[in-house]
Amino acid sequence: MSETKTPGEKKIGSGKTLTLKPRTETGVVRQSFSHGRTKQVVVEKVKRRVIGAPGEAKAEPVAEPVAPKPRVAPPSARSAPAAPQAPAPSKSGVVLRTLTDDERNARAHALADARLREAEERRIAEEDARRRQSRESIEKAEREAAEARKREEEERHRREEEAKRKAEQEARKRFGEETAPATAAPAAPGAGRVGARPQVIEADEDETPRGRRPGAGAGPARPAPAVKAPRNAIPKQRTRLTVVNATNADEVRERSVASFRRRTQRLKGHHDEPKEKLAREVVIPETITIQELANRMAERGVDVIRMLMKQGHMAKITDVIDADTAQLIAEELGHTVKRVSEADVEEGLFDAPDDPEDLEPRAPVVTIMGHVDHGKTSLLDAIRSANVVSGEAGGITQHIGAYQVDSPSHGKITFIDTPGHAAFTAMRARGARVTDIVVLVVAADDGVMPQTIEAIHHAKAAKVPMIVAINKIDKPDAKPDRVRTELLQHEVQVESLGGDVLDVEVSAMKKINLDKLLETIGLQAEILDLKANPRRLAEGTVIEAKLDRGRGPVATVLVQRGTLDIGDIVVAGSEWGRVRAIITDKGESVDDAGPSVPVEVLGFNGTPEAGDRLGVVESEARAREITTYRARQRRDKQAARQTGMRGSLEQMMAQAKTAGRKEFPLVVKADVQGSLEAIVGALDKLGNDEVGARIVLSGVGGITESDITLAESIGAAVIGFNVRAHKEAREAAERDGIEIRYYNIIYNLVDDVKAAMSGLLTPERRETMLGNARIQEVFNVSKVGKVAGCIVTDGTVERGANVRLIRDNVVVHEGKLSQLKRFKDDVKEVNAGQECGMAFESYQDMRVGDVIECYRVEQVQRSL
């Protein structure tokens, strides 16, 4: 209260000074607005009052509190001493307000309290008032003294400033107006303050003595339009004064190292955030290292690794991840992804369209397929009129090659000698569509066999027309018609049975109907209307490739389009080379090879793989570009696979499916790539959910010591197909106890592996039902326990057999019979219709009416 009043008294003082205000009216109003609440009000009030009568309207709220004073004791008590002041405060808005509040409070109190206390309150109030009056008078005196002092001080300041300003003005006059803005700043406020200052300061002092500075600061607000910079400078000064630098103003700008670091960190952080928000288009190739991905996204490698970890994958920054994973990460980080295939370098390498006018007829490419020993090799050899069967192991064709023969009326026909449909499909899987016609050899004495059916499926899947060659018709037990009927079951309908599949009865041995077979092939080829453009860069497929000691890498290539010339730069898979020599199937060296011509190509820098497509490029640089890309791609894909990041869902599911299966590790070495592929393909197909062959290493060439070391380290079996172990390898194998098995027939090899893998299968548990018995009575036999008296209802019951106790169709016990008695004798078995006594091993709770089911469990070894 006393405080509120003191300002009131001040206001009286200020009231006097306020009279000065009208002069600087607008300025003062602005000052007040930009600073405190009360100050503004004071200024406004005064202004309005000065303006005239309307001010009294504002005084009305004042009148109200004044009015209740006489009514309510405390205010009235206050009104007495306050009375002389009252008119003064009424002039100043602040005082009026504070008084009103007080009175309202007081009135609220009075109303809330009982009126009976009025008198007492009045007395207390009077005392209070008296005390207050005395206190206030003292304070007033003090304040007035202080004000006087202040005023003196102000005046001194003003005088000083005026003096300064004058000096400055003089200086300005002397040095010209240009320097004015800088010096005007401090001078201008002074000028503004001349009249305003006393009022401003007094108003400030009402509430905040500190407000003097803002007041002073606000002073220049008026001249602000003239000079802006100093206005900005002043708040800075102010902060400096309030904080550390009251003592040492010069060191203000110095920051501590920590604060500096914090600041830079903060700044850095701010820089990072917008970067993250920057959605980049991230180019993602088929495989990418984590480092590279992070770089392309402009993210930190650790962030990428952290995300991978969240997905349960531990990775190093140098690890390669596949495109799908990379895309997930990039998208999660808010980037857009552009999947590119580096295969763009291969663009234009293959399948450039030909002008139909350039196309010329070409020889059909024929593959002979069929069950083992049905005479594939014999037939091919008979056609070539060269007997190579004797040089082989008699079973299956082991070398992949291709030969061209002349047919009597339809020009040349190219035969591909595959080791079976496995290689055929393996090639097809790599996109090499080589074969135009499949000749299915079926022995007339043997009929349709499993591999015949497989061959049919393969041919159908490849949508390649089929010709059935019913072989061995020279044999007395040959039943060619039976073969035709059997084929019907597999949706192969030969012509004579109303279908569209051509069939020829042949004998490879007796060379019967071979011409007819060629004729039929020619006919079929005519229907297919096979054409190719021979006048263009060659395209073809590698049918076989091997590393020849003397000649280096040798690839058997079937040219499919264009013409391959010596000196051409060829690319196949991840190998390239310049054609050094072209050798035909007859061993002749030629200068070029046209469409459908199979040739051996020398000059490759490395051995390509069977099934690789061969293309001719214009320059070595291009060849290098393509092959390095392919090599890298292959390497990356391998690495990605090893990292455990599976490319597709199917792969993941396949992995999950095979996770718990037993593996049969194998090291396979073969003489040529084609055979190796066929073997690997066949072995991969072996096995089921439980067991599977895992080919740890497969390669072409003899078995080396390192193969044995590898096999030993993982406990793999070593298989050599048409190859032998080196001496050191043999010794190492003996030393380590590793068995090397040699084969020259693929099917034997596969059968052996199959048998070995079958051993890994858990034996099957098979139940054989023996019979049922019903409990008719339960006896308690001393030493034995409970014995059930039963009647065998069906089958037999055997001692030692497994039993189930069934009560109301619910199995209540499973165990073994401990005793089987017929009358008092132990018996081995009891047949249907007979009565017997039965006791269970460790089970007593049998009841009348229970059924005893008796069965035997057999372990059956499964096979693949």
Site for ligand GDP, residues 298 to 327, rule: CB under 6 A: none
Q: Which stretch binds ligand GDP (CB under 6 A): 359-367, 503-511, 591-599, 608-616?
A: 503-511
Output phi, psi for 358, to 5 deg. Answer: -80, -15
Site residues for ligand GDP, window 183-202 (CB under 6 A)? none
SS3 106: helix
CB under 6 A: which stretch of 134-142, 366-374, 534-542, 613-621 binds ligand GDP? 366-374
The residue among 394 and 759 lying less far from ligand GDP, judged by its C-beta, is 394
Cβ proximity to ligand GDP: between 17 and 507 the closer is: 507
For position 472 contacting ligand GDP by CB under 6 A, the verdict is: yes
Give the nearest distance from C-beta 472 to ligand GDP in angstroms: 4
Nearer to ligand GDP by Cβ, of 470 and 572: the residue is 470
Asked if 504 touches ligand GDP (CB under 6 A), the answer is no
DSSP-derived 3-state class of residue 821: strand
Dihedral of the CA atoms 163, 167, 170, 175 (nearest 10)? -160
List Cβ neighbours of 320 (8 Å cut-off, separation of 6 or more).
287, 288, 289, 290, 636, 639, 640, 643
419 is an interface residue for ligand GDP by CB under 6 A: no
Q: Which of 126, 474, 486, 663 binds ligand GDP (CB under 6 A)?
A: 474
How far is Cα 187 from Cα 205, in angstroms, rounded to an integer?
23
| Cα separation, 689 vs 691, whole angstroms | 6
Site string for ligand GDP, 475-494 (x = CB under 6 A): x-------------------
* DSSP letters spanning 751-796: HHHHHHHHTTSPPEEEEEEEEEEEEEEEEEETTTEEEEEEEEEEEE
Q: For residue 721, give both structure tokens.
A: 């197909």
Q: Which helix (H) or strand (E) holds 721?
A: strand 717-721
Residue 168: how many other CB atoms lie within 10 Å: 18
Query: Shortest distance, CB of residue 392 to ligand GDP, whole angstroms?
Result: 7
User: Can residue 400 be called a binding residue for ligand GDP (CB under 6 A)?
Assistant: no
Least distance to ligand GDP from the beta carbon of 454, Å? 13
- CA atoms of 830 and 816, how far apart (whole Å): 16
**Counting contacts by CB under 6 A, is residue 397 touching ligand GDP?**
yes
442 vs 788, beta carbon nearer ligand GDP: 442
CA angle, residues 730, 731, 737, in degrees to nearest 5: 85
Contact window for ligand GDP (CB under 6 A) among 294-302, 304-312, 466-474, 814-822? 466-474
Whole-angstrom Cα distance, residue 67 to residue 103? 10
3-state secondary structure 340-406: CCHHHHHCCCCCCCCCHHHCEECCCEEEEEECCCCCHHHHHHHHHCCCCHHHCCCCCCCCCEEEEEE
Near ligand GDP by CB under 6 A: residue from 327, 425, 435, 507: 507
Give the C-alpha separation, 416 to 404, whole Å: 9
Supply the minimum distance, in Å, between the C-beta of residue 674 and ligand GDP. Answer: 15
Residues of this chain, 548-567, that bind ligand GDP according to CB under 6 A: none
| Residue among 365, 366, 396, 787 that touches ligand GDP (CB under 6 A) | 396
Angle subtended by helix axes 180-207 and 2-18, to nearest 10: 140
Name which of 382 and 830 has its Cβ closer to ligand GDP. 382
Cβ-contact 541, 613 below 8 angstroms:
yes
| CB 585, min distance to ligand GDP, A | 18
| CA-based nearest residue to 570, from 861, 349, 262 | 349
- Cross-strand pairs, 721: 670, 743
Residue 720 in the binding site for ligand GDP (CB under 6 A): no
The answer for 348, left when phi > 0, alpha when psi is -120 to 50, beta otherwise, is left
Q: Put the strands of the sheet holding 691-700 in their side by side order.
A: 691-700, 662-670, 717-721, 740-743
The stretch near ligand GDP (CB under 6 A) out of 106-114, 163-171, 448-456, 504-512 is 504-512
Radius of gyration of the chain (CA): 54
Q: Which of residues 614-653 bind ligand GDP (CB under 6 A)?
A: none
Neighbours of 660 (CB within 10 A): 8
The residue from 361, 395, 552, 647 that contacts ligand GDP (CB under 6 A) is 395
State which residue, 35 or 472, has the beta carbon closest to ligand GDP.
Answer: 472
CB of 510 to ligand GDP, least distance (A): 6
Chain center to CA of 61: 73
Shortest reach from residue 752's CB to ligand GDP, in Å:
18
The count of other CB atoms within 10 Å of the CB of residue 864 is 18
Closest distance to ligand GDP from the beta carbon of 386 (Å): 13
SS3 call for 119? helix
Instruction: Between 195 and 395, name the residue whose CB sits nearer to ligand GDP.
Output: 395
Give whichever of 479 and 624 is closer to ligand GDP, judged by the CB atom.
Answer: 479
Q: Closest separation between CB of residue 523 and ligand GDP, Å?
A: 22
CB of 396 to ligand GDP, least distance (A): 5
Q: Does position 394 bind ligand GDP by CB under 6 A? A: yes
Q: Which of 231, 376, 484, 754 binds ligand GDP (CB under 6 A)?
A: 376
Determine if 367 is a binding residue for ligand GDP (CB under 6 A): no
Taking the C-alpha atoms of residue 186 and residue 406, their distance in angstroms, rounded to an integer, is 114
Q: Is 374 in the site for ligand GDP (CB under 6 A)?
A: yes
Residue 451 found at the interface with ligand GDP (CB under 6 A): no
Q: Looking up tokens 């090659």, which residue turns up?
A: 401
Task: Report the nearest approach of ligand GDP to the CB of residue 739 (Å).
Answer: 27
Q: Nearest residue to ligand GDP, using CB? A: 375
d(CA 606, CA 542): 13
Please name the helix (run of DSSP H) or strand (run of DSSP E) that holds residue 731, with its range, or none: helix 727-736
Per CB under 6 A, does 468 bind ligand GDP? no
Binding window for ligand GDP (CB under 6 A); candidates: 252-260, 337-345, 368-376, 681-689: 368-376
Closest approach, Cβ 393 to ligand GDP, in A, equals: 9
Of 280-288, 430-438, 501-509, 726-734: span binding ligand GDP (CB under 6 A): 501-509
509 contacts ligand GDP (rule: CB under 6 A):
yes
Q: Which of 77, 188, 372, 820 binds ligand GDP (CB under 6 A)?
A: 372
Please work out the total of residues on this chain that contact ligand GDP, with binding judged by CB under 6 A.
Answer: 20
Q: Does 389 bind ligand GDP (CB under 6 A)?
A: yes
Name the residue nearer to ligand GDP (CB basis): 443 or 616. Answer: 443
Q: In this chain, which stretch among 369-377, 520-528, 673-681, 729-737 interacts with ligand GDP, using CB under 6 A?
A: 369-377
Instruction: Tell which one of 6, 17, 92, 377 touches ligand GDP (CB under 6 A).
Output: 377
**Cα 771 from Cα 749, distance rounded (Å):** 45
Q: Are 298 and 280 within 8 A, CB to CB?
A: yes
Q: Which is nearer to ligand GDP, 389 or 832 (CB)?
A: 389
DSSP H/E element including 820: strand 810-822
3-state secondary structure 264-279: HHHHHHHHHHHHHHCC
Q: How far apart are CA 538 and CA 579, in angstroms?
A: 12
With respect to ligand GDP, which residue has the nearer C-beta, 165 or 376? 376
Please identify, using beta-carbon distances, which residue of 11 and 472 lies nearer to ligand GDP.
Answer: 472
How far apart are CB 320 and ligand GDP at their closest, in Å? Answer: 44
Of 389 and 453, nearer to ligand GDP (C-beta) is 389
Interface residue list for ligand GDP (CB under 6 A): 370, 372-378, 389, 394-397, 471-472, 474-475, 507-509
